[in-house]
Structures are given as C-alpha cells and as structure tokens.
Amino acid sequence: MAKKMKIAALISAFSLAAGTAAGCSSGGSGSDSKKKSNDVISLSSITSELGAGWNLGNTLEANTGGTPNETVWGNPEASQEIIDMVAAAGFKTVRVPVSYLSFIDDANGYKVDEAWLNRVNEVVDYCYNADMNVIINVHGDGYNSVNGGWLLCNGDDQDYIKAKYEALWKQIAEKFSDYDEHLIFESMNEEFDGTYTTPNRDYYSNINDYNQIFIDTVRSTGGNNTHRWLMVPGWNTNIDYTVGDYGFELPTDNNNKAGENRVIISVHDYDPWDYCGEESKKIFLWGEKGQEIVEVNKASPKSKANWNEKNIEESMQKLKTSFVDKGYPVIIGEFGCIDKTHANAGIPNQIAENRAYYDGFLAGTAASYGVTPVYWDNGYNGQYGFGLFNRKTLEQTQPEIITTIVSAVNNKDPQAGRNVKIRSYTASAGSTEKKAINAYIGIQTEVFTFRNACNDGQYGIDSEWFNTLIKWEDTDGDGTDDIVDTGAVFQDAEITKDGTYTVSVSGYDFSADSNALNMLFISTDTKYSSALKLTDFVLKCDDKETKIANPVISEDNDGNLYIELVNKYNTEAKSADYTMAKDSFSITFNIEGVDKVLK
C-alpha cells in the first residue's frame, strides 16, 4: 500500500527476524505432502479456491533506512499462531508483502540474503501448514518514497534495474520451485512514478517490461513454476489505469505448461479515498447505510462520501469485461477502510457498522463479478487503523467486519453487512475504566469562527458540528446568519502514555476573517488530576513557533482537564505572542503521569 498508515509504537531495537521462529528450519519445514503434491488450481476453480483473502501487512515489507525488519513498524514477528487465527476466522488466502531492498547484494550478482529468503520461506510454510493459499511479492522495492527503493519505472538506468529484477525473481522462484499452485507469485506492488496523475506512457512501458521479465524468469526455473499462477499489476494497481487506454499490456506466457491461462491481474481498491484512507474526520459515512445514519442519527450530510455503491459496481464490471470474461482472473490485492469510529464521538457504533457495510459490499460485489478480494490489514488497531486482529494477543478486534467479509465472499452477497449491529464502543453501565485521555483543540476568532469545548452543550462532542470548524455567515441574504463549514481539519490527540503530543486545526485562512483570537485552548474528556504534569507548550502559527510558559491549566465546569493558551475573557490567561495564521494553528505539549490516571 503506497499510502501506508503510520504505526504509533515503533520497536526501537533492531533485530532481524531471519530464522527466529521456533520449530522451523532455515530451509522451510512446511507440509511436504502439500508443497510437492503438484496440486493444480484450474482457471474455472481459482476464484472459489482463493475465497476471502487477508494481508499480513506492515511485517515482511517493513524496513528501517532501507533494511527489512519485520518488527520495526510495531507488529510482532509473523508466527504460525497468527496464521492459524486468520484461517480459523474463515479466510482462505494470505497475501504476504515482502521487501528485499538492502538484502540484495549488487556487488555479488544481486544475491539475496539467504537468511532473509529463508525467513520468507518459513512464513509461506505457516500458510501451507494452515491449509491456506499464499501470495508473495516484491513490495517496497518499487517505492520512490522508500530509502533504498530501486525498482523504479522512472529510474535513469533501466538496464541495471531490469538485470537486478530478473536476478531477484530467479532466486525467489528457485527457492519455491517445488511448491504447488497454492503459492502464487505477484511481480511487484503499486509500481508507478509517485505521482497520482495520468500515467507517463514511457514509464508505463517499463512496468510492462518488468511484468514480462517476471513471467519469463519464473517459467524458466522449471518445476512447478512452469504452471504456477502469476500476478501482474498495471500502473499503481489502479483499476482505471489498468482497464483503460493508458498503456497497460498483458505479458505473454509462452512457456506456461498448464494448458490454460495462468496469469492473474492485480489491482487495489481504496475508493473513495476520502472515506477509506484519508485521516480526516470529515468523511466517515458511506453509501446507503451512511445515508440512513444521516437521517436517523442526524449526522451531518457533509460527513458522507459522494462515491457510492454504483461506483463499486462499475469498477467490478470494468474488471470483469476487460479481464475475467477473457480468461484472466483478477485479485484485488488490497482493499479496506480505516477505523473512524471516533470521528464523531456521538455515534461510534453506527460508524463501525457503516465500515462493516462498506467492506462487505466491496467484497461481496467483487466476488459476484468473479473477482477475489484481499483485505489490507496493517496490524494497527485503533483510530485510523486497518487492523482486524490483535496479532500479539491472538484475538479478533473487529469480529463483525471479519464475519461480514467472509460471508460476503462465500455467498457473493454485497449486502452481507447491511444489518450488522455493533456495540463494541458502548461503555458498560457503571464502568469507570478509561483507556485514553482524548485531547481536543478548541478555537474562537474575534468574528466567531470556532470549535467549542468537547463538553459544550450545543456544539460539543455529542453534536454533529464538533469536528467542523464553523463560522456564522449570511449565505442566502435573508438577514440571518447560517452555520458554514470552513472545510478545515482538526487533529486531536489520543493519549495513552507519557510523551509529547500535538493538537491542531489546519486548512483555513484565519487571517482572512480576523486579526485576533478570542480563545485558543485544549479541552479533554478526562477529569482534572494533580497527578498529571503538563509542560513545554509550544504554539505554532503556520511556521512561527512560540513557547507558552504559563498556560492556564484548570478544570472546566464538568471537572475535566482544560488548558487555555489564549482567552480574552479570562484575565489570568496572559496574552500569547502570535500572528493570525493563514493555514494552521497547532499546540504541542508534554504530559507525564498518564498511567496514574488511566488505571
């Protein structure tokens, strides 16, 4: 996934994961009877065989400074127990993204680090042991944004790139030549020049060359590789740029010994991005279910994405017409939407239900068009995470979504999640357990462009307007002011441990409306406690930073922690040195004693 979710907790210790799984030899000790069985998955049965898929994301493709390290992005090492958990949930296919990067020795014939290739082998064996299909690829090596990325379609030395790519796939293919067709190779991941505009046809031609090199190299290694299923993507695995007249060319497969096609088209689907992946609290509803929430729960219509069920159906129809109907299976190697249950604190269950509906609709629609969907799970659970499982405790964190996806695929049912009910975000009666301190930036300009405190009765956290920077303006000329959404975005903080945090509001020219602030503050949902120590406040207005030595730290009318940086109505709040921002205000601060409050 190009737009990867940031993982909050990084593992600082650098320990390579090669060969660390207990009970597995360095050469891979999977189920020999299965990997050497020469099982054949036919063109007619591949979609049903693959079923619902799941990504072991942010693990074997994780890296630091261009060196692969499977725990550096916060996930535990892959294990048999993790894969068994996924299999028990009903998924039939695991996609394992893999980066090689600095583990390829350019000075030694592009030799791949043997310990790393053995580790990939171990993870493949975990999937075989669980009787699952598995897809492995070359993942982060093709990113312009990754330190050490080299498989670049816009690179200057294409002869070098293509020679290295051929050498890499030759070694991977030879490593797994005796594995049957339950192992699928995917040539690369989200390959493009890093820009999201219309593809450059010269660069697209290089992608086509890579796919052809991949096919020819794998087939040449013999064994089961002569008839193995092979996946190839178009530009950035984008559906429109693959089915449309933008430059994609199917590779030839002249050395395929299967007697029928063994090439799969690889695409990804995170549409609409403002709902599925954008870490903004503006768009958190989608489709018919989202409209129902707008009408029943009085959520703001502006929180609903414009892209809907019809758009998904049109995308699947394009894939079916362009490829499936012509004998080329299609796998959506990544899909899903991030967790926005806290985007509107008043209706978290409904937001979660809408998420289940979206995932089920895409998965079920794909299956009904003969397309295989593989959910993107980056292992991160919490706000803006894609995680469905807790890989450390081996528990399902989103059981309703898991059941919906599996059922949607098995039954080819886009409506599998339409009536899902979720109560995970409703606190039990009398419960005092608190998992985080939520801190929210508040602002009021001299012309009352504002966001009020979280406990404000009219515009607080339980209102549809809380995540909207609003101003009063007579938009229709009737002499009365209306509420206007300025389009700005809030970044709030979920505080779970001691550390430095930032809250902000951005995306609006405050200076165009007024010359000064009435108020700038941080409100929270947590009772004031002397155990909390807050220091090192820095106010940033656009690019200008100002240290705030003595903000007013107190409790609001409900007894919750409240911090004032600017308040013209409070004589205790000293005037801060700031210039009215053209784009953003942010407040950074340090907090200690969190563990004494979160018991």
Q: Looking at 190, 278, 353, 400, which residue is catalytic?
A: 190
> Nearest Cα to 179, choosing from 134, 148, 210?
134
Q: DSSP string of 14-54?
A: ----TT-STT--TT----HHHHTS-----TTTHHHHH-SEE
Evaluated on CA atoms 6, 11, 12, 16, the torsion sign reads negative
Gap between the Cα atoms of 74 and 10, Å rounded:
5
Gap between the Cα atoms of 229 and 238, Å rounded:
21
Q: DSSP string of 277-297?
A: T---SS--B-HHHHHHHHHHH
Give the three-state DSSP class for 512: helix
190 included as an active-site residue: yes
Q: Looking at 61, 122, 181, 334, which residue is catalytic?
A: 334
278 included as an active-site residue: no
Beta strands 63-64; 67-68: pairing state: antiparallel
Give the three-state DSSP class for 474: coil
Gap between the Cα atoms of 227 and 131, Å rounded:
20
Q: What is the largest CA-CA distance in the chain?
A: 84
Gap between the Cα atoms of 180 and 39, Å rounded:
6
Gap between the Cα atoms of 35 and 181, Å rounded:
8
> Nearest Cα to 580, choosing from 523, 505, 483?
505
340-375 in b/e burial notation, b at 16+ Cβ within 10 A? bbbbbbebbebbbbbbbbbbbbbbbbbbbbbbbbbb
User: Tokens at residue 247, please?
Assistant: 């430059």
User: Tokens at residue 87, please?
Assistant: 């299999």
Give the three-state DSSP class for 584: strand
> Nearest Cα to 372, choosing from 321, 419, 415, 316?
316
User: Tokens at residue 74, please?
Assistant: 């916060």
Distances (CA, A) of 25 to 28, 120, 176, 511: 5, 12, 15, 64
Distances (CA, A) of 511 to 296, 418, 441: 37, 45, 18
Gap between the Cα atoms of 437 and 442, Å rounded:
16
User: Tokens at residue 387, please?
Assistant: 């995680």
**Host H or E run for residue 420:** none
Residues catalogued as catalytic = 190, 334
